[in-house]
Structure 1
Amino acid sequence: MPNNNHYNQNLKPFARSLRKESTKAEVRLWCEVLSKGKTGYTFLRQRPIGNYIADFLCKELKLVIEVDGYSHNFKTEEDLERDKEIADLGYTTLRFSDTEVMKDLPNVERVIIGWIESSQK
């Protein structure tokens, strides 16, 4: 029977290394918005899901949050494929750029909280 949380044990060492090398934007979003249940839900950092590692994942909400740095400007097709595969696992992906997180965190937080509230209706 398939594991319903889609945890890929093989990606665990890589996920651990990514947690140690988080970007400033990832750290800021984690510390100021997502950590310690500030949203009312538990988010995990750099969590394997399927064949990918999500920047942030909430199993209860089936929500993945990605913070995209400059390199993602050139990965549009890859990101679309990734989002589709994660959606096929039952998850929604919200994407924000490093710049959005660093320069307009209140709006990023509003989008996340708005999504959470609308998903609970």
Structure 2
Amino acid sequence: MDRTAYARRLRQHQTLAEKTLWALVRNRCLAGFKFMRQIAIDRYFADFVCEAGKLIVELDGAAHDGREDYDDRRTDTLERLGYVVLRFHNDLVLADPGGTANGILAALRSARP
């Protein structure tokens, strides 16, 4: 499957946490910052990307349990490409979406020149 088709499939089969976060950041709802979802960067697909802030937001659920080494390597690669990577657990996004949005906004504001 090509990268575009794979990204489209990821967008069509979002988790509840991904749907929740997308509702918070889509259409420039978060202080005017534009986010895209399931974007291919290097050999990975980033969950949510704000190019203007060079910020990637990754959501971690049960599928990430036991994959900490992989996630660390992935984060290192994305950071070497100039991105700041924020990770939130799905449970946190669902329990406190406003707090999650505030954390993302704080990271974006601190990264602005």
TM-score by length of 1: 0.87
Question: What secondary structure sits across from 1:96 in the alignment?
Answer: strand
Offset at residue 109 of structure 1 (A): 1.1
Of 52, 55, 61, the residue aligned with 1:63 is 55
Q: What residue is the counterpart of 1:91 in the other structure?
A: 83
Q: How many residues align?
A: 111
What do you get for the CA RMSD once the two structures are aligned?
A: 1.0
SS in 2 for 1:74: coil
Aligned to 1:34: 25
- Aligned partner of 2:9 in structure 1 is 17
**1:3-54: CA deviation from partner (whole Å, max 9, x where unpaired):** xxxxxxx5221111000000000001101x2101012111001111110001
Segments of 4+ moved more than 4 angstroms: none
Q: Secondary structure at the match of 1:118?
A: helix
Structure 2: state its 5+ residue gaps. Answer: none
Give the whole-Å Cα distance in 2 for the aligned partners of 1:58 and 1:117: 12
In structure 1, list runs of 5 or more residues that go unmatched. 1-9
Give a deviation string over 1:34-88, Cα, whole Å, max 9, x none. Answer: 1010121110011111100011011111111011111112110000000000111
Percentage of identical aligned residues = 33
